[in-house]
Amino acid sequence: MKKVGIAILGLGTVGGGTYQILTSKKQYFAKYHNLDVSVESVLEINEARLKQLGVDPAIVTKNIAEVVSNPNVDIVVELIGGIEAAKSFIITALKHGKTVVTANKELIAKYWHEIEETAKANHTGFYFEASCVGGVPIIRTLTESMQANEIISIKGIINGTTNYILTKMADEGRDFEEVLKAAQKKGYAEADPTADVEGFDAAYKLSILSSLAFNVKVPLDKVYREGISKVTKEDIFLGKELGYTLKLLAIGKKTPAGSEVRVHPTFIKNEHPLASVKGSFNAVYLVGDNVGEIMLYGKGAGALPTGSAVVSDIIFAAGKADHFYVPFINSKDGEKGVRFNDDFSCEYYLRMSVIDKPGVLAKIAGAMGSNNVSLREVIQRGTAQQDGSVTLILLTHITNEKSIKAAIREIEKLTDAVVSIDAMIRVE
């Protein structure tokens, strides 16, 4: 039986869940994986947390040097989060011949190239299943189960906080700020929710997932990002009437113009499998050229779901004679000559307030037409307000991002006809 010694750096939510799984399922790993897995070292300064989890004081340290110099440690699990000191600890562990497992999506999205270069140079492994979509095994699916396919597209609900907020807004008719405060009280949202609600978290994950899906490095700065903080319950309910559900989607596509990667609020048809993903659950919808459509669904966060992904990497790495490295050029800016398409195409939903008088629609349609935007549907909502304005909903045919934005700029100049453009939401 192979002995595998583990060091855990950080016993926060995920670190605690990982420790619980490793200690409670020790006999299971021995029986079914022929591995004697033991936690040999824990780096943590929170004494209360150590006592809560029942960690043996003899294996506790506050010094990374003690961890990497421990001959009984084979795999270092980094669950501190953030950039520093996590990055330094990972590099140090790899240079000391330790394989590293992490859930740190921000670090990977920004410094994957540097970490993997160090791992290669030292013939060690670097694994990160838990960095994307919590307990959902999306990374192993992309790297180990889709070899017969070129991935055509990847679409995902990959942030549980925003999905919880949008679900509550849709089901209960509440405003964004109200639901956000409730999510913070329940622990679904951080005290500073910026990373989640402004789409940074989803962008980190999409950078990683689209790189693996398309076998080309997708630098973080190539991911278009837009959050949900400006989403209103009015648009959610108008979308419902039109047959759409609103989600924060991470979208990656292969197109003739290049790879297309974007995170933004998106209307999808109510019949689409992703539309039924509610609350804090996550899902990823893949299309392969041979297998067709696949969807993976599950809990995207939490101590035990994410901890299970961490432990799966530990078991996977322990059984590898040769470690996995990505097959593409993993440099900071990616391979030279690879094209990325920022003029993506889809349908669009626009809501605006316009003056209720003859000729207004003709002016708006003219601005759309002059920018090659074709209207599919026009809906006027309600009666005129005190200022003489009415709500106008426009749905376009498939058009380009740059075209719709140019049309919007032109419409905004129609001050004698248009009071305000209140929402623009992409439709997939």
Tens-digit pLDDT profile for residues 262-285: 999 999 999 999 999 999 999 999
Domain boundary among 83, 107, 131: 131
Domain-terminating residue out of 244, 269, 300: 300
Same domain, 42 and 150: no
Residue 296 lies in a domain: yes
What is d(CA 218, CA 210) in angstroms, rounded to the nearest whole number?
7
Q: Which of 161, 162, 261 lies closest to 220 in space, CA to CA?
A: 261
318 located within any domain: no
**Do residues 375 and 283 both lie within one domain?**
no
Alpha-carbon torsion (370, 372, 376, 379), positive or negative: negative
pLDDT one-digit tens code per residue, 20-57? 999 999 999 999 999 999 999 999 999 999 999 999 99
Residue 361 has pLDDT above 90, yes or no: yes
Residues 275 and 187 in one domain: yes
Any idea which residue has 């795999």 for tokens?
75
Contact 222, 261 (CB under 8 A): yes
* CA angle centred on 294, ends 242 and 254, rounded to 5°: 80
Give domain status of residue 109, yes or no: yes
For residues 243 and 146, membership in a common domain is answered with yes
Same domain, yes or no: 119 and 173: no
The single-letter code of the amino acid at 145 is: S
CATH number at residue 30: 3.40.50.720
DSSP letter, residue 59: G
The pTM assigned to this predicted structure is 0.95
Query: Quick count: other Cβ atoms within 10 Å of Cβ 177?
Result: 9
Instruction: State the total domains in the chain.
Output: 3
Tell me: pLDDT of 316 over 80: yes
The pLDDT score that the predictor gives to residue 386 is 66
Residues 96 and 228 in one domain: no
Q: Which two structure tokens, joined as six digits, stand for 337?
A: 């000559």
- Asked if the structure places residue 337 within a domain, the reply is no
Tracing tokens 């993903």 back to the chain, one arrives at: 277
Residues 290 and 196 in one domain: yes
Which range has the worst mean pLDDT, 57-71, 223-237, 322-336? 322-336
pLDDT at 186: 84
In-domain check, residue 286: yes
Closest by CA position to 62, among listed 23, 6, 9: 9
Same domain, 127 and 154: no
Q: Are residues 165 and 237 in the same domain?
A: yes
Give the pLDDT confidence of 405-426 residue by residue, as tens digits. Answer: 999 999 999 999 999 999 999 9
330 is a domain residue? no
**Confidence (pLDDT) at 320:** 85
Q: Which residues are catalytic?
A: 205
Give the pLDDT confidence of 164-221 residue by residue, as tens digits.
Answer: 999 999 999 999 999 999 999 888 889 999 999 999 999 999 999 999 999 999 999 9
Which of 269, 300, 331 corresponds to the end of one domain? 300
Alpha carbon distance 5, 39 (integer Å): 6
Q: Is residue 91 part of a domain?
A: yes
Is residue 211 included in any domain, yes or no? yes
Report the share of the chain in percent with pLDDT over 70.
99
- The CA distance from 99 to 97, in Å, is 7
In this prediction, what percent of the chain has a pLDDT beyond 90? Answer: 92
Cα 87 vs. chain centroid, distance in angstroms?
Answer: 20
Residue 384 banded pLDDT, cuts 50, 70, 90: low
Q: Is the predicted pLDDT of residue 135 greater than 70, yes or no?
A: yes
The radius of gyration computed from the CA coordinates of the chain, to the nearest angstrom, equals 24
Q: Which residue reads 């016993």 in tokens? A: 11
**What secondary structure does DSSP assign to 74-130, as a single string?**
-EEEE-S-SSTTHHHHHHHHHHTT-EEEE--HHHHHHHHHHHHHHHHHTT--EE-GG
Is the pLDDT reported for residue 97 higher than 90?
yes
Over residues 329-346, mean pLDDT: 93
**Do 116 and 153 have their domain in common?**
no
Residues 105 and 157 in one domain: no
User: Could you report the per-residue pLDDT of 98-130, keeping only the tens digit for each?
Assistant: 999 999 999 999 999 999 999 999 999 999 999
| Mean of all residue pLDDT scores within the chain | 96
One-letter amino acid of 160: G
Expressed as residue numbers, the domain containing 349 is 345-427
- The predicted pLDDT at position 170 comes to 97
Do 46 and 18 lie in one domain? The reply is yes
Query: Does the pLDDT value for residue 383 go beyond 80?
Result: no
